[in-house]
Amino acid sequence: MKERRLADGSVGYYWIPHERDVAGGFTLRGEALGRNYADAIARAAELNVYLDAWRAGRGQPKDLDLSARFGTLAWLFERYRRSAAYERVSERTRPEYVRALNRIEDVPTKDGRTVGALSVQSITPRAVDKIYAAVQKGPRGKRVRQANISINVARRAWDVVRRLYPKTVPADNPFRGVLKEGGSKTKPAATRGEAYALAEALKSIGEPHLGAAALICFEWLQRPENVIGGEITWGDYRGESHPTHVRIFHHKTGEVVMQPLEDAERLLYPELEAYLATLPRLGTPIVLTAGHRGPARPYSMAFAAARVRKARKLAGLADYVTLDACRHGGMTELGDAELAEQGVMALSGHRTPQAARLYVKRTEQQRQRAAAKRRAWVERNETSARLEMDGGSDSGNGTDESAQVAGNIGAGDGNRTHDTQLGKLMFLDAELCSV
């Protein structure tokens, strides 16, 4: 490690490999270590480990943990991308995760480096607040949503890698507790009419199987990336072992939901089944593109999105009507049907009520039903109160034989509100009376 006097009079620290190592093929030319001596020493020690490993192996392929980035934020993010936790992120979402972490890595620092080159030991909550502010500044103005996603993904990455490298990654996660702006906006949900209109529009432009994807997302609540990726097959639909069910696999949670297709009285999804009956079976998966060059094959997410946009414009549908919005719409319809959370989770494959609630949007129908139930309750109680008042001329302040003794009144186990202060006062009053 070397120190140099900077233009403003302060001292900067640099790690520079020996000339003979560079001549021998060592690829790292040097690194600015900043102005903090303690941080510079720690980072120089990490780089020396890499140099020693190179000298010992002379350029043999190195593990990520022996690279020059070991111990930096860029290393932490890359280690997360190679973890089992990242494998559970859907293929559709992974590009967004990569962009989110890159936005943080690429933030420049005052000493000419980037945030990705900083040691994880030097990342403090105050530093993360500055990173958050910097990430919000996009090429086309402020980008709060992207900055919020970056912080959320970085927080997850830190927790995952901290568990794997407890001696390298500090226990306190600096990305936790960031006061984010804006807050999450509710993603619009497609209605039943919009989902079926999108399916018909896709059929009209020669994409009937992609139309089936919209309906499967809406009715059977499977994620778009699983439908497009061939995770639902003709064998899953009324298969030999389950002739009255369809098997729905959710890659994100690993859950398999056997959706019932009928009960003793009727079909439960007659519209969707009628649509599927019109489709030619191009292969094992239900959703395939016939294509014009070669055999039928799965849609790419980008091509599917482009065809949805074309069909949506043709049908005059709003921009929010996507395959994802169709799934959100199906979940919201469960709320309109007033299903309990257990019923919602049984159909959607979510593991927790918290996750399921994000998809059940608040609607006018739910508000109407809730207000009507409230009014019915009020009217029942008003009727009961009038009957009690008309039942006799005795004072309403009289003591009923079945009434509870005042000294024993308190917050019962079934009450919503536990008035502990009232209980304490009564207990104190009883003690004073006994003195």
- Within 191-241, strands assigned E span 237-239
Cα–Cα nearest to 422, from 433, 408, 434: 408
* Cα–Cα distance measured from residue 189 to residue 326, given in angstroms and rounded to the nearest whole number: 6
pLDDT tens digits for the chain (435 residues)? 788 888 888 888 888 888 877 776 666 667 888 888 888 888 888 788 777 776 776 544 456 776 667 889 999 999 999 999 998 888 778 889 999 999 999 999 988 889 999 999 999 999 999 999 999 998 888 888 899 999 999 999 999 999 999 989 999 999 999 988 875 567 789 999 999 999 999 999 999 999 999 999 999 999 999 999 899 999 999 999 999 999 999 888 888 999 999 999 999 999 999 999 999 999 999 999 987 777 889 998 889 999 999 999 999 999 999 999 999 999 999 999 988 888 889 999 888 888 888 888 888 888 888 888 888 888 888 877 666 666 654 544 444 444 444 444 344 444 444 444 434 434 444 443 444
Taking the alpha carbons at both ends of the chain, their separation in whole angstroms is: 80
For 293, residues 6+ apart whose C-beta sits below 8 A from its C-beta are none
Return the ∠ at Cα 364 (arms to 358 and 365), rounded to 5°: 95
- Compute φ and ψ for 249, nearest 5 degrees: -100, 130
* Cα–Cα distance measured from residue 90 to residue 226, given in angstroms and rounded to the nearest whole number: 9
Return the residue matching tokens 């639902």.
232
- Within 70-164, strands assigned E span 137-138, 141-142
Domains and CATH numbers, the chain: 2-66 (no CATH), 98-164 (no CATH), 192-357 (1.10.443.10)
Query: What is the reported pTM?
Result: 0.59
- Compute φ and ψ for 246, nearest 5 degrees: -125, 135
